[in-house]
Structure 1
């Protein structure tokens, strides 16, 4: 084949190239744009210009659309959007697209306040819960954004997608993490004993594996996450550490040692305390069926920071994490390196 023929063949199979940026706030909500030319919301981004790399295009779009000048260096996903996977007018002659999703990071209040939406194109921006994406975005856009967010939490590098879905689903994809609204627990955290007379609603554990990661339970039906533990029962005889250990055993067949008190969160809506302990995770039995719910939780190990991303704890998350890491150090457990979330399938 001549160079001319080869070039013509490749040109006849040309695809669009697009780029977008996933940005969250400190609560883990995703930034979406309301645009003048579509009824659905979008991540910041757009088409990659001729001679421009996807990362350069992402940075340019952030500046053009939001007035924010920043480098974009970390990828979250690369999506093959097929002609059938996008609802485009036949007049557009959509040939398919390779769309890159980059990590715009976690923005604080000052960064959010600096946003200047492009007049005439961007009508406004908002931060929304991940579970709201399917209701606000086109189906393919919502799948892609959720897959990219899960890839960020999972921690193993960019995901390869086809029409928004990973070709190699992780445990977070398989369980559908973040597709259900996270429980909103914006409770103040107090690293002190709970006041006498305050009803205790829950007693939960940060259970540390030897590598510094913690045990997290995922509901197989909803994808929601929880820390192991439970609610006080008569057999606990008022011992809240026993409540947490018993609940963790029933939910996850966990073996624990060296449990220590962290503090409590106070529910300002329905007055009551949510107690937190830390402990060393020394073993796991086969995944049990929880006697109260009938569920068999999916058990994973995640860093404390990855765990935080699975909950909506508000500003108290930072204070709770500080207490968690202090307890980890006291237990003689190292700080976990950034790594992929690991599913715990059987006994260990």
Structure 2
């Protein structure tokens, strides 16, 4: 009898210890979420108030339009150059993102160098069709997205363009160059891969996205608060986490978020899954890239923790006469930390191809 009583006592003590540890752990997690994360600039609320009271006219400054690609509506913007036009740049944004997420500093660098810039929302994002009937059993492919891009070129009356692609967007840009090489003046491929499914290359570290999500848990407080102001603060906090406080323009980021919320569809989280499925459903490009005769610049960080650096080496080796810019110690971020050097290299590459 005493033995059974002793076991019950031990179980009760164990339950109390486990319960106490769980409560303490949850309390610590709650405190981390509440007080953790980067410190926002002191004037953040005042800046958000000022931007919210404006008409947000500076977010979309070019001529906007829509076109149809196989029954899918695509939104685009054509931004004129500063001074005489040297050519046209077509931008391809990263996984799950819409065209408005290109940093204004990059757009200014291109238009300031004399290039008309076209950015567009890839299918499933932004103001383009979101495809509610999409299913993983019948995904679209990167080739479908390449055809979308050609439709944008047609709609804007662009015979040839310099293609600039980031990460996932770099894969789509490669597909356009293979599909319609006569429409491509040059390629700039940043933080991307010729074939992320190639078994001879290190796998893209999708797990790094989970680690990033864990590191960003303190930012969850903004999402839990709800409202436009909190979403603006969440984006600013993410940017500060990636680039530090000195590299983040609070006013520009507030305007981007508020414009997306007020005038567009916002962020489609299903687009991330759709784009991942498109990558998996697309054949290798390595052999086809060897047939290209397009001036190409490959830019990649040596410490990329999402698409390993070996992918960039293979990409540069696959395209005849491709130039490269390896960024020592840089990860999977954009704009890249040594921004002045990268900006100069990209503009010089465009200028050389435009001659």
Q: Shorter chain as normaliser: what TM range?
A: under 0.3
TM-score normalised by structure 2 residue count? 0.27
- The structure with the largest helix share of the pair is 2
Q: Give TM-score scaled by structure 1 length.
A: 0.27
Flag the structure with higher strand content: 1
Which structure exhibits the higher relative contact order, with contacts defined as CA atoms closer than 8 Å and separated by 6 or more residues?
2
